[in-house]
Amino acid sequence: MTTAPILDIQDVHKDYNTYQALKGVSLKVRRGEFIALVGPSGCGKTTLLKQIAGFEDATSGTISIDGRDMAGVPAAQRPTSMVFQKLALFPHMTVAENIGFPLKLRKVPAAQIAQRVNEMIALMELKPIYLDRFPRALSGGEQQRVALARSMISSPKLLLLDEPLSALDVKLKKVLQSELKRLHRSVGVTFVHVTHDLEEAMMLADRICVMRAGRILQLGDPTDIYYRPADAFVAGFIGETNLLPIDVVSRNAAGITYRSEGIADPTGTIPAPLVADSVSPGQALMNVRPELIRRIGTHENADCAVNATVTEIFSKGGTVQYRARMPEGHDLAIEIQGTSALPMQVGENVRLGWAKKDIWVLAPGEA
């Protein structure tokens, strides 16, 4: 197995008249990887996918697939296959004709097509009796499997998924998510999955690429993105978090020295591995995830401690979420494992603390 990236995107720009949909995107995707492109609508993730599939030509920049520059190569000749948001199953063809369509275009003999179609429906766990039915006679989840089978039958090097699960209900979505993961493991094809659902991306992908306004904000594995977000936007986009404003006094190789009105920290320093590169003296944000904050006793020592008043309690089944207001007016979200006896009451003044290793300091940026 070569180490060269299967997909190499270099500084791709895409303009629609005056609107810049992509403003210089570079991305290398490893062979066999499951990568998720995540971002709010209009961030350029689907536009990027269209450039990879070859439906549109990039304004500038290069896209190479398996070492070959794709400039001027039409979608039909690219080793990519797309699963569309609306699935795009051909309504005038039966399930078997739909799945076999890519092979029919490649002039594969009919007997061989039939054999491959049977392999695909076995892989997708579809019932053979569906083969002669029209797509509209199938349920949403079954249509999804047919669309996947059609995309996989020509053994593409890259499978592009354009939010194919977004229209499904939550339960079916979960089933198909694990299905996708299983499929990815069993076929070893590189998956590029576009979604606005971060939970889905975290669950499925090896690496997540967070985009916003035509740029990549951060690329990393799910833990990186979750616990070490590049900026306030990524931090806020990916699940709930607490961003506490701090003043960075100085920065050196060992880390930073900071001041904060509400946070009681005996050392006032944060070691370098817990600080984003973009942080410089001045304003910064301390990121602490709700589940890493706990209640501490009045005299108990903690790396960081704050005083706050509990304002709200939400039970989320397995966990309980609290909201507490610090004297400076900043709201904190705290999430703890649900127990029958609630450890905090609304209106109670509590002391909350967290460990320094759970901190991540990032530059303020635009939220």
Partner 1 sequence: MEQTATRSWHDPGLLVKALPSVLLQTTCFIAPLLMTFILTFQRTRDFQLRWTWDLATWTDVFSKPHYWTILGHTLVMAAACVAICMVLAFPIAYGLATRFKRFENEIKILITFAFITDATLKTFGWVLFLDKKGAANFLLSGLGLPPESVAFLFTDWATLLGMVYNLLPFAIFTLYLSIDTIDRSLILAAYDAGASKWRAHWEVTLPLCKPGIWAGSVLIFLLGVGVFLEPKVLGGGVSPMSAELIRQTFETRVNWPLGAALTLVLMVVSVFVVLLFSRILNMKRAGFGT
Using CB under 8 A, which of the segments 1-9, 71-79, 164-172, 248-256 binds partner 1?
71-79
Structure tokens at 257: 């020295």
Quote the CA–CA distance of 149 and 237 in Å, as a whole number: 32
* Residue matched to tokens 């410089």: 280
Q: Which two tokens stand for residue 275?
A: 């600080």
- Asked if 334 contacts 352 with a C-beta cutoff of 8 angstroms, the reply is yes
Q: Which of these ranges, 81-89, 121-129, 229-237, 264-272, lies near partner 1 under the rule CB under 8 A?
A: 81-89
Sheet holding 19-29, edge to edge: 19-29, 7-16, 60-65, 68-69
By beta-carbon proximity to partner 1, the closer residue of 106 and 259 is: 106
Q: Does residue 80 interact with partner 1 by CB under 8 A?
A: yes
Q: In what order do the strands lie in the sheet with 319-325?
A: 294-296, 349-354, 304-315, 319-325, 331-337
From 20, 62, 118, 154, residue interacting with partner 1 (rule: CB under 8 A): 154
CB of 330 to partner 1, least distance (A): 46
Q: Determine contact, residues 198/237, Cβ cutoff 8 Å.
A: yes
Query: Does 14 contact partner 1 by CB under 8 A?
Result: no
| Binding to partner 1 in span 99-128, by CB under 8 A | 101-102, 105-106
Q: Tell me whether residue 195 or residue 287 sits nearer to partner 1 (CB atom).
A: 195
Please report how close the Cβ of residue 191 comes to partner 1 at its closest, in angstroms.
15
Instruction: With beta carbons less than 8 A apart as the criterion, state whether 75 and 26 touch.
Output: no
Please tell me the number of Cα atoms within 13 Å of 197 on its side-chain side: 16
150 binds partner 1 (CB under 8 A): yes
The answer to whether residue 92 forms part of the interface with partner 1 (CB under 8 A) is yes
x-or-dash string of contact with partner 1, 224-253, rule CB under 8 A:
------------------------------
Tally of residues, the chain = 367
Binding to partner 1 by residue 84, rule CB under 8 A?
Answer: yes
The residue (of 133 and 174) whose beta carbon lies closer to partner 1 is 133
